[in-house]
Amino acid sequence: MAQDSSLPDFWCKRYLSDVMPWDAGGVPEEFMQYSQQLTPQQTIFIPGCGTGYEVGWLAERGYAVEAIEFSPAALEMAQKVLGQFAQHIHAGDFFTHQPNQPFDWVYERAFLCALPRKMWTSYADRMAKIIAPNGVLAGYFFIGDQPKGPPFGISQAELTALLSPHFVLESDQASVAPLPVFAGKERWQVWRRCDNLSH
Ligand SMILES: C[S@@+](CC[C@H](N)C(=O)[O-])C[C@H]1O[C@@H](n2cnc3c(N)ncnc32)[C@H](O)[C@@H]1O
């Protein structure tokens, strides 16, 4: 199988051969809880959405959710999962996609840990650009020592260094029901975008 997880082909091979240990097959608990506080005007973006369960969950409740995926195989699966809500997901690369407006919430799940480490600074810069002032980057982070990946583990200190130029950590809790591949290392975190940080 292809070894460079920055390429769509890496992911296509896994989706097509049904090797998807990250796929929850549904919507995780903290995501649902956090979504309760959304207002109808708020916009949500899900990069690297995979099979897109969270996209469908939000779309069927009427929320303004948009998602992108760069693996055609994942897109095909997501379109089946989403059915009538398939228009909420688009083919696109997170690093070049130009959204029409900044988002109130970018949802992270198994995306940062899917990217090779050399792309993490670009990830943080991009998040700062596409999240509205006072918006959030909220979701699941794979915290821990796991140099070989994906999933690539990140220490809490490293994640703080990566995001703190633009974001403040507002809440942090262990995920209640991580999949085996993330067991003991998955945390639900909410990072709020803050323009007035002095560094
Ligand atoms: C580990 S999977 C996680 C999928 C989904 N977030 C989930 O939780 O099930 C990582 C996903 O990110 C996608 N991906 C990786 N890099 C991407 C990029 N630069 N732009 C868009 N999608 C990307 C992959 O195709 C893959 O579907």
The number of angstroms, rounded, from the C-alpha of 85 to the middle of its chain's C-alpha atoms is 19
Whether 43-101 and 119-199 share one fold: the answer is yes
Residue with CA closest to ligand 1 atom 14: 48
| 84: Cβ contacts below 8 Å, ≥ 6 apart | none
Q: What is the pLDDT of residue 146?
A: 81
Pick the CATH number of 43-101 from 3.40.50.150, 1.10.1040.50, 3.40.50.300, 3.30.470.20: 3.40.50.150
Residue 101 to residue 144: CA distance in whole angstroms: 33
Q: What is the pLDDT of residue 180?
A: 96
| 14: Cβ contacts below 8 Å, ≥ 6 apart | 1, 20
Mutational pocket test of ligand 1: of 9, 71, 81, 118, the residue with most ligand atoms within 8 Å of the beta carbon: 71
Q: What is the pLDDT of residue 95?
A: 98
* φ and ψ of 148, to 5 deg: -95, 135
Q: How far is the CA of 170 from the centre of ligand 1 (A)?
A: 25
Residue with CA closest to ligand 1 atom 20: 93
Sequence ranges of the domains in the chain: 43-101, 119-199
pTM: 0.97
Tokens 């899917």 appear where? Answer: 114
Residue 36 to residue 58: CA distance in whole angstroms: 10
Mutational pocket test of ligand 1: of 12, 58, 70, the residue with most ligand atoms within 8 Å of the beta carbon: 70
Residue 90 to residue 180: CA distance in whole angstroms: 29
Exposed (0-12), middle (13-18) or buried (19+): which is 74, by Cβ within 10 Å?
buried
By the 8 A CB rule, do 52 and 73 touch?
no
Q: How far is the CA of 69 from the centre of ligand 1 (A)?
A: 6
Ligand 1 atom at minimum distance from 71 CA: 25
Is the CATH code 3.40.50.150 the one for domain 119-199? Answer: yes
Ligand 1 atom at minimum distance from 119 CA: 19
Q: What is the pLDDT of residue 139?
A: 98
- What pLDDT tens digit does each residue of the chain (199 aa) get? 558 999 999 999 999 999 999 999 999 999 999 999 999 999 999 999 999 999 999 999 999 999 999 999 999 999 999 999 999 999 999 999 999 999 999 999 999 999 999 999 999 999 999 999 999 999 999 999 888 899 999 999 999 999 999 999 999 999 999 999 999 999 999 999 997 665 4
